[in-house]
């Protein structure tokens, strides 16, 4: 089965009233806005779309808002932001379910310095060694430019020996930073689960992330909402779980796999094969996020 190929977002304007948009790989590449993205946002707003940005960034919505503003994505071009970091913080503050309620108060932060402070103001203590921690707050690798999940085998073995839970504040396994593919917190979470570790995720593709988006869309029915993303395993799988339509952007995470590179036509058979393998079916596909 192949998917309808869109020329841009414009043909969908009459069919949907709102969109849930991925950030990294759709609106920006970690360094600059993707070509055509700012105009597409402006055109969607002019056409009356309500727009929620849903990101697996392990940071607060305020930090994410400030970051994307440097790419030209200004607050007036969307209605709300939902981040996996924000969802993690809310869950740790509420402790409303058994998994979070059983956590202790001391955490070891596994991740880069830019993610420090996610739990500031909450009743938790960050400790400097995993031996003293009750759980691991995983926001990524200490250095995603040089390390891989394999570099954390010793830490994960220690955590497993202590039966230490891990909260993963970014389910993404990889993202592009410019032209480079870099590992994310999800790769470490996956490695921890592979040795029997207890890892809990916040963000896409999990249903709670989409419920948070629907809450910010002021009653727009799910049938009139479409998700746009570049990852089959998170964006498209998440839309499937949430029961909404979706568009897969090819010039993102899967660009090399799908042949969606400059001067080349994308391999639609490769798209179909990957969608089948991952059981993540987009409603349509789009070369890049353009109007």
pLDDT digits (tens, 9 = 90+) for 4-18: 999 999 999 999 999
As a whole number of angstroms, the distance between CA 54 and CA 235 comes to 9
pLDDT digits (tens, 9 = 90+) for 200-215: 999 999 999 999 999 9
Structure confidence at residue 30 (pLDDT): 86
Structure confidence at residue 226 (pLDDT): 98
Instruction: Output b/e per residue, 42-53; b: 16+ Cβ within 10 A.
Output: ebbeeeebbbbb
Element (H, E) at 130: none
As a whole number of angstroms, the distance between CA 287 and CA 105 comes to 45
Residue 145 has pLDDT above 70, yes or no: yes
Structure confidence at residue 221 (pLDDT): 97
pTM of structure: 0.93
Tell me how far the alpha carbon of residue 276 is from its chain's centroid: 21
Task: Report the 10 Å Cβ neighbour count for 1.
Answer: 7
Instruction: List, in order of start, the domains of the chain with CATH numbers.
Output: 5-56+204-286 (3.40.50.1000), 103-201 (3.40.50.1000)
Element (H, E) at 276: helix 268-278
Residue 246 has pLDDT above 80, yes or no: yes
As a whole number of angstroms, the distance between CA 183 and CA 172 comes to 8
Structure confidence at residue 197 (pLDDT): 98
| Mean of the per-residue pLDDT values of the chain | 95
As a whole number of angstroms, the distance between CA 51 and CA 75 comes to 11
**Cis? peptide before 205, omega within 30° of 0:** yes
pLDDT digits (tens, 9 = 90+) for 83-111: 999 999 999 999 999 999 999 999 999 99
SS3 58: coil
């Amino acid at each position: 089965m192949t998917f309808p190929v869109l020329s841009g977002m414009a043909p969908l304007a009459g069919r949907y009233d709102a969109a849930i948009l991925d950030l990294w790989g759709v609106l920006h590449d970690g360094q600059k806005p993707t070509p055509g993205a700012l105009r597409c946002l402006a055109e969607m707003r002019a056409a009356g779309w309500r727009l929620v940005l849903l990101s697996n960034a392990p940071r607060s919505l305020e930090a994410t808002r400030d970051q994307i503003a440097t790419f030209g994505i200004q607050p007036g071009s969307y209605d709300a932001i939902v981040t996996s970091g924000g969802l993690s913080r809310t869950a740790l503050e509420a402790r409303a379910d058994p998994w979070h309620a059983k956590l202790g108060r001391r955490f070891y932060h596994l991740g880069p310095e830019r993610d420090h402070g996610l739990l500031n103001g909450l009743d938790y203590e960050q400790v400097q060694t995993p031996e003293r921690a009750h759980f691991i707050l995983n926001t990524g690798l200490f250095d995603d430019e040089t390390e891989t999940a394999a570099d954390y085998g010793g830490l994960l073995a220690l955590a497993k020996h202590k039966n230490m839970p891990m909260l993963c504040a970014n389910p993404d396994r990889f993202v592009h930073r410019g032209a480079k593919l870099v590992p994310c917190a999800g790769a470490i979470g996956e490695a921890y689960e592979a040795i029997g570790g207890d890892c809990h995720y916040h963000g896409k593709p999990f249903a709670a992330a989409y419920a948070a988006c629907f809450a910010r869309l002021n009653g727009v029915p799910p049938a009139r909402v479409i998700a746009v993303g570049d990852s089959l395993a998170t964006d498209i799988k998440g839309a499937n779980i949430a029961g909404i339509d979706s568009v897969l952007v090819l010039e993102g995470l899967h660009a090399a796999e799908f042949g969606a590179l400059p001067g080349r036509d994308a391999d639609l058979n490769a798209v179909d094969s990957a969608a089948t393998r991952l059981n993540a079916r987009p409603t349509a596909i789009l070369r890049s996020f353009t109007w």
